[in-house]
Chains A and B, each alone.
Chain A
Amino acid sequence: MPLDERYALDEFLITTMARQFSGEVMVSSVTAFGALSALLAKARYAPDLAVLATPESGMEVTPMPTLSLGQFLTDAQRGIPLTMEEIFDAIFTDRFRIWINPAQIDRHGNTNISVIGDWHQPKVAMVGSRGIPEDTSHLSQIFYYVLTHSRRTVVEQVDFRSGAGTGPDRDATLGEHGAPSVLVTDLGVFDFTGPDGTMAVRSLHPGVTLEEVQEKSGFEIHAPSSIPVTEPPTEEDVQIIRDADPLEVRKLELLSGPEAAERFVSIYERERQALHAAWPRLGKLG
């Protein structure tokens, strides 16, 4: 999409992600994009969110993104400590939301973070399905984002189903429990309201055409006859994101190669200082 000088792509996407939240649910922070979207949502769109500072704990504190997301706490930043049992109980009772960044997502919203190729003879062994099976078998809203919409990421069929999408397998075993609800990419916002629960266009980002989306997808995405344009962030949205992420950890997710490495080192050198400026030590511990 063409850039607008008032916001960067990361700020556009984080705002779009923030606007998907609603209600009084726990939100886990496993990526900078996820953490910042939750924080912005809490400030502007879904004030009752219980945002966690780390993937599994630190409720009710501001999750300033760092490189080791969350697992880098000062004594002042701890928030309400939670246990893994509490996290999964929140998932099982559908009081939990998370933004997941899969390697592949398909027509039915199945997602893969485990392996490229056959699981038994991997072309690329990635990380393993982690907690995605739990999320997709229990949460009534599952949020996915993909930063580079392409035929490698948005595919006809995932190589391995880490996360359960829509379709007969889900209908037979999970019934009403959980379902993929939204996919945000650098091209648009998609949901799974197409025929038989397939992916459909909900909105396209400013300047993006349906042809471009179809060209960059591994299958034809269902499109309504009239497609809205994704609402861009307001000045206030952008300011909240910038204030919340002074180190610009969010930019790393969009970079690769030497540029990413350079920025990584620079953030690493500055993150402790920045965290202490935001969260002075209480000195109560240890």
Chain B
Amino acid sequence: MTVDQVVADIPNGSTVAIGGSSLSRKPMALIRALARSSVKDLRLIVDVGGPDVDLLIGTGSVSEVIYAFVGFEVLGLAPHFRRARQQQALRFEEWTEYTVMAGLDATIKRVPFLPTHAGLATDVLSVNTSFRRFKDPFHGEELVAVPALKPDVALIHVNYADAKGNGVILGDGHVDVLCAKAARRTYMSCERIISSDELQRYGRDVQILRVHTTGVVELPWGAHPTGCAPDYRADLRHLQDYLRYSANDDAWRAYADQYIYTDQSRYLERQGGVEALLARLKV
């Protein structure tokens, strides 16, 4: 598939689950393609979000975010997320790391909810009205019902994939497998497409199975500026630039013109080209 075909499959108002975790293996090339399309009113589901959520909020593509975390880790807070939260510009629903997983898992298991203790005695239960407290029918224990999260689309980025849609993840797996299984349609970008024979050698690292995949796009450096272990580390210098460009509207328009409203090959040229990226980021 091509990036444009993926984007064409994502209509306004879609619920999109995004894999990766903060600064690790985010499907950023797909995210940028989505951001420069005319698609609007996306409902995002992320477990641990970072530049993915922040960039889509920055381009006005989002109406709602379901999240356990959105931040830039060692670099600080996510600027557009923070501003939108403080201006109450979008709908936000704070979940937690396991409850996002449980919500996706409920959809996979085709049950309306899954029970947990997580969130009890915290304020997450007071601000998140999607959760329900209930007493278990066996012993009367107080529990939280986590409703099923039903993504229309999942976007993930992996190290290698075959053309049929099996995907190899070498670093931390994050929640990509759950996203891929729960979504109606899963689009996977990869650093490199390899043959199905070659893929066999990766054994248990073949974490994404083709029965769950709708399409595969080969996008080298497709997670940049987040990292894709052990191929390349996060580009913290670009992310620092991103934070500076996010300081005001004019600067943000300049960032968008230079890095979002362009295709992946020009995007890579504007990072100094692949050779420079390799020298700087290859692990």
A residues lining the B interface (CB < 8 Å): 54-58, 66-75, 77-78, 81, 83-85, 88, 91, 114-115, 119-134, 136-138, 160-165, 167, 169-170, 172-174, 177, 252, 264, 268, 272, 275, 285-286
Contact = CB atoms under 8 A, between A and B. Distances in A.
Given A68-B23, A72-B229, A286-B160, A137 B234 contact: no
Interface of B: 21-25, 48, 67-71, 73-74, 77-78, 81-82, 85-86, 88, 94, 96-99, 101, 117-124, 127, 142, 159-160, 170-175, 177-178, 204-205, 227, 229-231, 233-234, 236-237, 283
B229 A131 contact: no
Given A127-B69, A286-B159, A78 B230 contact: yes
B266 to A, nearest CB: 25
Contact of A124 (B69, B86, B171): B86
Nearest to A86: B173
Contact of A164 (B74, B101, B122, B231): B122
Contact of B96 (A66, A131, A167, A177): A131
Contacts of B101: 84-85, 88
Interface of B is mostly: mixed
B124 A133 contact: yes
A285 to B, nearest CB: 6
A252 B74 contact: yes
A268 B23 CA distance: 15
Contacts of A69: 73-74
A197 to B, nearest CB: 12
A121 B88 contact: yes
Contact of B81 (A123, A125, A134): A125
Contact of A125 (B85, B120, B231): B85
A84 B19 CA distance: 12
B97 A134 contact: yes
B228 to A, nearest CB: 9
Nearest to A85: B101
Given A71-B172, A137-B117, A138-B117, A119 B94 contact: yes
A58 B204 CA distance: 15
A44 to B, nearest CB: 27
A165 to B, nearest CB: 8
B172 A129 contact: no
Nearest to A70: B172
B171 A130 contact: no
Nearest to A119: B127
Given A84-B178, A137-B121, A161-B124, 15 more contacts: A57-B173, A69-B73, A81-B204, A115-B85, A119-B94, A119-B123, A120-B127, A126-B71, A127-B69, A129-B69, A132-B96, A162-B124, A172-B121, A174-B121, A264-B74
14 contacts: A55-B21, A57-B172, A67-B236, A71-B229, A73-B171, A74-B283, A78-B171, A125-B81, A132-B122, A134-B98, A136-B121, A167-B121, A272-B233, A286-B230
B171 A71 contact: yes
Given A133-B118, A164-B122, A127 B172 contact: no
A135 to B, nearest CB: 9
Contacts of A275: 283
Interface of A is mostly: loop
A128 B175 contact: no
A161 B68 contact: no
Given A68-B23, A71-B24, A272-B283, A129 B68 contact: yes
Nearest to B88: A121
A192 to B, nearest CB: 14
A174 B142 CA distance: 8
A119 B93 CA distance: 11
Nearest to A130: B69
Contacts of B173: 56-57, 81, 83-84
A55 B99 CA distance: 18
* 3 interchain residue pairs of minimum CB distance: A125-B85, A164-B121, A131-B97
Which of B69, B172, B236 is packed against the most chain A CB atoms within 10 Å? B172
Contacts of A88: 97-98, 101
Nearest to B126: A119
Nearest to A76: B230
Contacts of A133: 96, 99, 118-120, 122, 124
A83 B2 CA distance: 30
A125 B171 contact: no
B94 A127 contact: no
A126 B77 contact: yes
B121 A128 contact: no
Given A72-B283, A130-B69, A170 B121 contact: yes
B244 to A, nearest CB: 12
Contact of A131 (B68, B178, B231): B68
A32 to B, nearest CB: 9
Given A125-B86, A130-B68, A272-B233, A174 B120 contact: yes
Nearest to A127: B71
Contact of A285 (B21, B74, B170, B172): B170
B121 to A, nearest CB: 4
B94 A71 contact: no
A73 B142 contact: no
Given A120-B127, A130-B97, A133-B119, A125 B237 contact: no
